[in-house]
Amino acid sequence: MIRSLLLVLSLSLFLSSGLRSETDDPDLRDSLVQIRITNQVPNFMYPWQTKKPYHFNAVGVVVDENKILTLASILEFYTSIEIKKNSSNQFFTAIPLKVDFEANLAVLRIVEEQEFFRDLSPIDFHIKPEINESVSIVQMDGFGNLQDGKGRIVNLENEPYPAGHIEMPYYNINSNEKMIGNGELLTHKNKPVGLLYSFQSSSNNGKAVPGFIIDQFLENSVRKGSTFPYKGFKFKSILDTATREYYGIPEKYEGVIVSGILPRTGASKVLKVNDIIVEFGKKKIDSQGYFQHSEYGKQPITFLAHSGKESGFTKGMKIPVKVIRNRKEMNLELPLHPFPSKSIKIPHKHNFNRFPNYTIRAGFLFTEFSEFLLREWGSTWRSRVDKKLLYMVDYKKFHKKGEKGKILILVQVLPDEANNGYHNLSMELVRLVNNENVTSIKELENKINNSSEEIVRIDLENGTTLAIDKATLKETDERISKKFNIPKLTKY
């Protein structure tokens, strides 16, 4: 009897606490779906191969116009997307309509609807909670039951989303729950306010895409390209008096110094390195690049440039900027364009689901240098790779003005009699091919195939010169393809 009473009491305490209990809002059952995704990531070290496929579940949200909203970061290198709703045991095939890695959001379409949405209700994200307010974190288990936990919005901060290049606002969530961060829905007073994309149980801390970002993404979900603009420049703090005096900054201002400008951005047309930004978006900027927001407290310049309607400056508009240039005040207008992917010299963060370009000639494996390649060294890759390559990734990610293309690298040498003496070479950057620059695998292939020289010369950054004999190249490539079981020696 006592044991039964204790069991009932424990169950009551569990349900009343709200920990992972079934949500009290039945309407959400008609708005959330289960997404089952299969991903297969390429092997950047052996780019003709793919790694073992893996599967995981995520939460999908039904939104207007028969679309399913989910996170973009979970779709990188997907091979299949299947969706199941609460009222059915059947999984339906889906495909992406739009993927925006900068906003970490994607919308999916059911391939054959067959009245899939007939008993589903779309929801929107028009409600905006205040900082320090409590939220419910809702997810769907494998049986279609909704489970919710409790959390609190601690603050709003800015950093790139998992697969994005630009700093974006996110809710910092505190919760004692055991979440995953695969698109769980955040609600406040039963109204959707965000999507959880990251959670660390060790620190009880999660991160969520705010509803005001989701709302703007959905408004532009049929347009190509990212919904959100990019400021286009880097800056440094000004913390000492000597620097202020050197640049002639008046006492009424603080400000930051422009330290770098990315090509193909609005900033490249307006700003100059060493400009002192004292006002941005009609807000005074302090010495570390922050302004005072009425709701969110101190926020960086990036919030004004990247958050779209929330700051009042959307993609395609011009944002007012006041600078000190050559000791004179200047009022400028900076055009807000999306992040320029063509300015990337060393791919990182995401690869638009594209598999790596490569070629294997005479056993020499060349590919385009990327951070993905270095990550093949595992979670501790930064301490394991050549410091020269690490420097390139940290400081040479983007093109300078007038540059284009990618950096080529010799990944490894597949041993053969045709490349004796080179077998120990690996991870060496390509400098020249027949004394000319190359900026893509296609260009490298053309240089080799169209060379009038009997010996193709490839100079590496470490001073080594590779010699490829064109007279025997076809025979060598066929032998290597068979020896190492490589069905396709070139892909670009």
Report yes or no on 2 lying in a domain. no
Tell me the average pLDDT across 319-340: 96
Domain limits for position 241: 229-338
Task: Flag whether 47 is in a domain.
Answer: yes
Regarding whether 154 and 38 lie in a shared domain, the answer is yes
Burial label for 11, CB within 10 Å (0-12, 13-18, 19+), is: exposed
Give the whole-angstrom CA distance, residue 98 versus residue 304: 25
Pair 359, 411: CB distance under 8 Å: no
Q: Note whether 371 and 290 are same-domain residues.
A: no
Mean pLDDT score of the chain: 91
pLDDT at position 113: 81
Q: Choose between 142 and 254: higher pLDDT.
A: 254
Report the pLDDT value the prediction gives residue 155, as an integer from 0 to 100: 96
Task: State how far the alpha carbon of 167 is from the alpha carbons of 194, 207, 304, in Å.
Answer: 17, 14, 11
Taking only the tens place, the pLDDT of each residue in 265-312 is 999 999 999 999 999 999 999 999 999 999 999 999 999 999 999 999
* Same domain, yes or no: 78 and 154: yes
Dump pLDDT digits (tens) for 363-409. Answer: 999 999 999 999 999 999 999 999 999 999 999 999 988 899 999 99
pLDDT of residue 17: 37
For 48-62, the pLDDT digits (tens) are 999 999 998 999 999
Per-residue pLDDT at 460: 98
Among all chains, which residue has been given the structure tokens 């009042």?
312
Please check the confidence at residue 449 and state whether its pLDDT lies above 90.
yes
Q: What is the domain-level CATH number for residue 251? A: 2.30.42.10
Amino acid at residue number 14: F
Considering the domain boundaries, does residue 4 fall inside one? no
Same domain, 301 and 199: no
**pLDDT per residue as tens digits for the range 19-28:** 344 444 557 8
Domain count, the chain: 3
pLDDT value of residue 98: 94
Both 308 and 321 in one domain: the answer is: yes
Contact criterion met (CB below 8 Å) for 110 and 33 = no
pLDDT of amino acid 14: 33
131/221 same-domain check? yes
| Domain end position, chosen among 282, 311, 338 | 338
Q: Do 479 and 430 share a structural domain? A: yes
- Do both 392 and 457 map to the same domain? yes
pLDDT tier, 5 (very low <50, low <70, confident <90, very high otherwise): very low
pLDDT band at 11 (very low <50, low <70, confident <90, very high): very low
Q: Do residues 23 and 36 both lie within one domain?
A: yes
DSSP-assigned letters across all residues of 297-329: EEEEHHHHHHSGGGTT--TTSEEEEEEEETTEE
Instruction: Quickly state the pLDDT bin for 144 (edges 50, 70, 90).
Output: low
Whose tokens are 């922050």? That residue is 290
What is the structure's pLDDT at 7? 36
Residue 8: per-residue pLDDT: 36
- Does residue 3 surpass a pLDDT of 70? no
If asked whether residues 55 and 134 sit together in one domain, one would say yes
Nearest-CA neighbor of 451 among 356, 366, 364, 361?
Answer: 361
As a whole number, mean pLDDT of residues 459-482 equals 97
Per-residue pLDDT reduced to its tens digit, 97-142: 999 999 999 999 999 887 899 899 999 999 999 999 999 999 877 6
With cut-offs at 50, 70 and 90, classify the pLDDT of residue 333.
very high
The pLDDT value recorded for residue 169 is 97
pLDDT in the model for residue 353: 86
Domain boundary among 323, 338, 353: 338
- Give dist(CA 138, CA 115) in Å, integer: 25
Give the 3-state secondary structure of residue 453. Answer: coil
Cut 0.85: pTM above it: yes
* 323, 252 Cβ separation under 8 angstroms: no
Higher local confidence (pLDDT), 241 or 14: 241
Distance from C-alpha of 448 to C-alpha of 451, rounded to nearest angstrom = 5
- Rounded mean pLDDT of 309-336? 96
pLDDT value, residue 148? 86
Q: What is the pLDDT of residue 304?
A: 97
Contact (Cβ atoms closer than 8 angstroms) between residue 441 and residue 368: yes
d(CA 249, CA 428): 46
CATH number for the domain that contains residue 474? 3.20.190.20
User: What CATH number is associated with residue 118?
Assistant: 2.40.10.120
Q: What percent of the chain has pLDDT over 90?
A: 84
Nearest to 333 by CA among 379, 273, 271, 395: 271
388 in the same domain as 450: yes
**Same domain, yes or no, for 209 and 241?**
no
Lowest mean pLDDT among 141-155, 176-190, 367-381, 465-479: 141-155
436 Cβ contact partners less than 8 Å away, ≥ 6 residues apart? 447
Q: Tell me which of 299, 316, 338 is where a domain ends.
A: 338
Q: How far apart are CA 114 and CA 150, in angstroms?
A: 36
**pLDDT the model gives residue 115:** 84
